[in-house]
Amino acid sequence: MVKIKRLANAEDIVCGIDTLITQEELKQRRQDYKTLSDKNMRTKYSGDIYRPVILHWNDKDFEIQVNYCSNSFCKNHTLPQFKYNVGKSSRYSLSGKNEERVLKCTQDPTNPNGVPTFGCFTKTFSNWALATEIERLIRINSVIPLEPEYIFHKEGCTNIDSYFDNPKSFYKRGLHSSKAQKVQCKTCKKYTNILPDKSRTTSYNQKRNDILIKFAKHLVNHVPVSRTCDILGIGRSTYYEKLEWLYRCCLEFLETRESKQLVSKSFPRIWLNTDMMAYYLNNVRKKGQKKLPSELREKQIQTQVVITTDLDTRYVFRADPAYDCYINFDQIRSDTELFKDDHLPMELRKNAKFTRYSNYPMEPTLNDTQTGEEYYRELREVVQRKKYVDGLHVNHTYTAIAQMFLIKQIIKTDKWRIVSDDDMVLKSAIKKVFSDEIKQGKLHYFVNNFDKFLSREDAYKEFIESNRYLRDWAEDNGLEKLSLYNIAIEYMKRQLSTHKFYERKVAPDGTPYVVHKSNKIEHPIAMADRGNRYIDVITDTSNLSDEHLARLIVKANDNSVNAFLQEIRRSVSVLERPLVTSRGDGKSYIYSNFNPKYAQMALTILRTYYNFCKPFKKGKANETPAQRLGIANKVYSWEDIIYKR
């Protein structure tokens, strides 16, 4: 029997987090909080930023510790903090302000003539906050069986048996209008409705079940909320109830059609496209909250969405807004009071991913360097923020790392190929999550660059000129019979005989080593809409042949993720680009949604429809991304998703 399910909420435990913080340490923190200044306390506990956090999920334990060197060419790459026996030096030193600190690789005093470190600077993170972000992404994509608490008997009834344990002590009294089984106690005559399973009803506790298919089509066809309400004859509250219900249907569908399929499937290699999309959230006050004359709040707040797709099939693995809808300031205040976060390094704070609100303002202690004026200014900002829409923005680097971590767990492959644009957030996330694969040579990372300020007309000219040049080169070299793609590979192979992305060096003791060389190469095939583009490889390619690397570079593109980004803009009205005002002197965000929780739901619904229901033609085949990936054998429909066919 398949039970009816509900969306997981903040109270549900979908995975466990062990911070390895002992009660003795908490007791010591409370003592230090009273006697030390905030600066001295941060200094005292700085060494704990290398302590891992254990994440318990799917009967597995994962060690979360990302504070190490991310430069795959450096000898310190992936190595933990270590104190040398010579002097007081350690493998890493900390520099920068509390909110923007970095690890710096120091020279190894025990081997001064060996391979040197490169003095790398690596951004630091809170392992605890990263674990909570991974937990959030798991939770918002989880459904939990609905387990109501039944009371089968009246007070004082001599029969204490449950219907499930002893059904013979109950009468069956037919079905409720919701298709729930009605049972009656033979002793006290109390009636109880038993929740039906999904095989009996797919519309339990739902009104206007007749509009579900139309509602789903409106949602993914750019119909605004108000227009959908007018056409279907429903109110705004009903609209969002249907949106949440459809979201749950999609999660249940993905649970069987995606998660279970990917667990049993392995890939010889996988090409990932990853990118971020910015949309604007309308910053509205809660009902009954008035704006003060001195209160200045941004009307629109930029929100980032991290998206990862498969390059070959266009399958969208995840699309996650960097926004936590379930966090509140009461919880942050409780965490600050318990763990003394306001006097700890940012890397030890549970809520470090919220950056501006990583801790709740606490009244300065006797030895605190914070003034009373600074405290009241921070407190006033928090009080003002409470008046607006629930939830807080997450530092999107944490969201990107968490998303990559989850994708790494669901995909089975020995060869990873990743393409992104030149974004420090994405590069940092990929280097952290796939550090072992990079070190073992199982992953190669390609950065795709192009001129973002090039007009469409100039881009198309570069596209035509690039193709003409490649054809002329092929004719001069007797390769005119090859396809343009194979011509590009031959051209790139000859370019790579002299063009390298690395440099070989020798240490004073004679040990050879390789360093990265920032040396972008022009891709032989330009884009019709973006013109010439340049590829940089930021992983070690010294063991690859020129032909192998040429094939990888020619294949590297971001078409897959861009196709889904365009689909979002065209399909979901609340995530469309801003409209230009009639005067042409500003931008209007009139369709932006008020709650990013619904943006998450809309994106997941669109992702499900895009992957399983929307075929596209490539060559002679007209298949959905899920069919091309090999986890589906047909084109699904809304009826399959909604009615659990």
Domain for residue 473, yes or no? Answer: yes
640 or 198, which is more confident?
640
Assess whether pLDDT exceeds 60 at residue 582: no
Does residue 181 share a domain with residue 61? Answer: no
Section 389-404 average pLDDT: 93
What does the alpha-carbon distance between residue 583 and residue 8 come to, in Å, rounded to a whole number? 46
Which of 86-100, 428-442, 453-467, 618-632 has the lowest average pLDDT?
86-100
The per-residue pLDDT for 566 is 93
Task: Look at residue 486 and tell me if it is in a domain.
Answer: yes
Residues 185, 70, single domain; the answer is no
State residue 214's pLDDT score: 93
Question: Domain check: are 42 and 126 in the same one?
Answer: yes
CA dist., res. 264 & res. 257, Å (int):
12
Question: Quick one: 17 and 122 in the same domain?
Answer: yes
**Distance of alpha carbon 336 from alpha carbon 361, whole angstroms:** 8
Average pLDDT estimate for 169-195: 85
Residue 148 near residue 158 (C-beta atoms within 8 A): no
pLDDT digits (tens, 9 = 90+) for 419-432: 999 999 999 999 99
The tokens of 579 are what? 């409209």
Please give the model's pTM, rounded to 2 decimal places. 0.92
Provide the percentage of residues in the chain whose pLDDT is more than 90: 64
pLDDT value for 293: 56
In a domain, 563, yes or no: no
Is the pLDDT confidence value at 590 over 60?
A: no
pLDDT digits (tens, 9 = 90+) for 40-88: 999 999 999 999 999 999 999 999 999 999 999 999 999 999 999 877 8
Whether residue 161 sits in one domain with residue 100: no
* DSSP secondary structure letters along 453-480: T--HHHHHHHHHHHHHHHHHHHHHTT-T
- Lowest mean pLDDT segment, chosen from 78-92, 145-159, 197-211, 234-248: 197-211
Q: Examine the domain organization and report whether 472 and 553 are in the same domain.
A: yes
Same structural domain, 136 and 10: yes
Evaluate whether residue 166 is within a structural domain.
yes
Name the residue with tokens 């049993």. 264
Are 166 and 40 contained in the same domain? no
Pair (30, 128) in one structural domain:
yes
Residue 14 sits in the same domain as residue 137: yes
What's the mean pLDDT in 423-452?
Answer: 93
**What 8-state DSSP symbol labels residue 581?**
P
So what's the pLDDT on residue 44? 93
The reply to whether 536 falls in a domain is: yes
Report which of 98, 62, 100 is spatially closest to residue 401, judged by C-alpha positions: 62
Upper half-sphere CA count for residue 51 (Cβ side, 13 Å): 16
Q: Per the domain annotation, does 564 fall within a domain?
A: no
pLDDT band at 597 (very low <50, low <70, confident <90, very high): confident
Amino acid at 2: V
| 481 belongs to a structural domain | yes
Among the candidates 113, 143, 173, a domain finishes at 143
Distance (Å, whole) CA 50 – CA 572: 42
Same domain for 154 and 125, yes or no, is: no
Domain's final residue, options 177, 194, 211? 194
Is 380 a member of any domain? no
Mean pLDDT of the chain: 89
Q: Give the pLDDT score at 466.
A: 93
Q: Please indicate whether residue 358 or residue 644 has the higher confidence score (pLDDT).
A: 358
Q: Has residue 35 got a pLDDT over 90?
A: yes
User: Given pLDDT bands bounded at 50, 70 and 90, which one contains residue 322?
Assistant: very high
Please determine, for residue 296, whether its predicted confidence score (pLDDT) is greater than 90.
Answer: no
Tell me what pLDDT residue 165 has: 85
Q: Is the pLDDT of residue 638 over 90?
A: yes
Q: Band the pLDDT of 1: cuts 50, 70, 90.
A: very low
Same domain? 28 vs 137: yes
- The number of folded domains in the chain is 3
**Lowest mean per-residue pLDDT among 101-105, 263-267, 279-283:** 279-283
Spatial contact of 488 and 428, defined as CB atoms under 8 Å apart:
no
Domain that holds residue 33: 5-143
The pLDDT of residue 298:
59
What is the amino acid identity at position 94?
Answer: L
**What is the Cα–Cα distance from 558 to 426, expressed in whole angstroms?**
14
Domain boundary among 143, 158, 173: 143
